């Protein structure tokens, strides 16, 4: 068995080295991510040309007591903030990254949903196939958000090193998924923990999260061209 820093179990580790060990473990835990891709993703995605981004379903567990109606309003704002941040990210990266799909303008997406009586409060009662048919798209980008802070307003600034060990550095978790419009099958999913290191607000979270996942983001022209050869 190899012991860190060449130390044996019968020798006490200096406090400085113990601190480094804990920091290393925390960094590993932070960097852990979960990316799932359907084994037949390419077959499903061959005809994908337009994807819609819908508001994320947010679940808030705030430390401060909030009225139920106010909590629902805040959750909706968080869900729309992620939708907006994703559109901004894809718009900025599309040309540079060479995505082989387009993304429906979220204003159009939300307007179409509203015309069909679909809003944040009931969107999760519709299937992927139903939503894609209504929106006229080939696939859907959706997800969930679990937060104990209001990320759209920024992460707490009163933060110190010990917060890593007390758990106060953890603000929740985000899950992003891509589903096929015809079959409704889950094609791709990315989950990541939210902490101070993932960004100071929703925009930074999406920027850093997608940067980490970009190498495995399935819609790129080179990948599609390789599959056609």
Residue 29 lies in a domain: no
Verdict on whether the full-model pTM lies above 0.95:
no
Residue 11 lies in a domain: no
Residue 98 lies in a domain: yes
Residue 133 lies in a domain: yes
Q: pLDDT per residue over 101-158, tens digit each?
A: 999 999 999 999 999 999 999 999 999 999 999 999 999 999 999 998 888 888 765 5
Confidence band for 58, pLDDT divided at 50, 70 and 90 = very high
Report how far residue 58's alpha carbon sits from residue 206's, in angstroms, rounded to the nearest whole number.
Answer: 15
Task: Let me know how long the chain is.
Answer: 229
Residue 18 lies in a domain: no
Confidence band for 161, pLDDT divided at 50, 70 and 90 = very low
Which tokens go with 228? 């056609």
Instruction: Locate all alpha helices (DSSP H) within the chain, ordered by sequence.
Output: 15-31, 41-45, 68-97, 106-115, 128-135, 163-166, 202-213, 221-228
Residue 24 lies in a domain: no
Domain range holding 220?
Answer: 34-228
Residue 83 lies in a domain: yes
Q: At 61, which CATH number?
A: 3.40.50.10610
Residue 208 lies in a domain: yes
Structural domain count, the chain: 1
């Amino acid at each position: 068995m190899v012991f860190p820093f060449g130390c044996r179990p019968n020798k006490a580790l200096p406090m400085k080295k113990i601190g480094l060990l804990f920091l290393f473990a925390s960094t590993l835990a932070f960097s852990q991510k979960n990316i799932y891709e359907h084994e037949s993703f390419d077959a499903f995605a061959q005809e994908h040309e337009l994807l819609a981004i819908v508001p994320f379903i947010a679940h808030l567990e705030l430390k401060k007591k909030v009225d139920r109606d106010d909590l629902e309003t805040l959750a909706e704002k968080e869900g729309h903030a992620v939708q907006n941040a994703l559109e901004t990210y894809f718009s900025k990266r599309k040309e540079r990254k060479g995505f082989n799909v387009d993304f429906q303008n979220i204003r159009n997406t939300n307007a179409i949903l509203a015309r069909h009586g679909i809003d944040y409060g009931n969107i999760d009662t519709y299937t992927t196939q139903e939503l894609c048919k209504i929106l006229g798209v080939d696939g859907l980008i959706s997800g969930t958000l679990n937060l104990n802070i209001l990320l759209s307003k920024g992460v707490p600034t009163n933060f110190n090193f010990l917060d890593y060990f007390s758990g106060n550095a953890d603000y929740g978790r985000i899950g992003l998924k891509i589903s096929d419009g015809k079959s409704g099958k889950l094609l791709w999913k990315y989950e990541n923990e939210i902490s101070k290191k993932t960004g100071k607000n929703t925009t930074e979270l999406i920027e850093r999260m997608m940067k980490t996942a970009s190498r495995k983001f399935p819609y790129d022209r080179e990948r599609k061209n390789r599959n056609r050869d």
